[in-house]
A = this chain, B = another copy of it.
């Protein structure tokens, strides 16, 4: 259990950063924030989610933090850490919320001071909306938290990430290498978003609005997508994602060919396989 006297700094107080702050304050920790907008700080202060904050990259505020959580986009975080790394206190532990780990965690660790540790972590929680005003720590209780240690990490850093996830009450806490993480996320998250976006972009389908049922709505809900964040995540993981898209297209072309050929036995096998696999995911 993380010592209650420890102090957290959240850099980037958006939906996730705000939810972290809210949950950590509820558990009795000191929580400060650095974020772009004074309105965001005022909003969180008024609700008691933080003890203080600044819109400046204030070295004193940074130096007082035992733990720093970055709620920034990957590239912004990489640049922020490079720019401010002399300000961290010796022994400080840093972590993130990024959806991609290769080209992020490794890059940060490569350039980081030896007496400060960065441990990658990915809270697999989110909403269709962004901003501190939508902060909701209860979304963590049904979500996965993935810790992505590398050979540069210590038991202390990995232990911190695990204890943080426990404090935040994540349902599942697991550990993957950064390569395993990005391969997994390429399939379960990025491919599904690519499919939803492409389905929504197929034809001009506006005239079909009155005919769509739950199936179509379920498949396209995530086609509402933050273009700045997701373009960055897609490019960072492009090798995995391009391969996953190719494999999915091969799977769909196989089904298409069986439809064109009216291959009754073949198509039934595909339906039986998808049904069996999907039932397994219901367990």
Interface residues of A (CB under 8 A from B): 124-125, 143-144, 146, 172, 174, 184-185, 187-189, 191-203, 205-206, 208-213, 215-228, 230-231, 234-235, 238, 241-242, 244-256, 259-260, 262, 264, 267-268, 270-275, 277-281, 283
A218 CB, nearest partner CB in chain B, Å: 4
Within the assembled complex, what's the spacing in Å between the Cα atoms of A283 and B195? 22
Within the assembled complex, what's the spacing in Å between the Cα atoms of A174 and B208? 12
How many copies make up the complex? 2
Out of B124, B187, B220, B231, name the residue touching A271 (CB < 8 Å): B231
Q: Is the CB of A184 within 8 A of B202?
A: no
Q: 9 smallest A-B Cβ distances: which pairs?
A: A227-B271, A198-B252, A200-B274, A223-B274, A197-B274, A198-B251, A227-B268, A223-B278, A218-B218
Q: Is the CB of A195 within 8 A of B252?
A: yes
Main secondary structure of the interface of A (DSSP, over half): helix
Q: Is the CB of A188 within 8 A of B200?
A: no
Q: Is the CB of A203 within 8 A of B187?
A: yes
Q: Is the CB of B199 within 8 A of A191?
A: yes
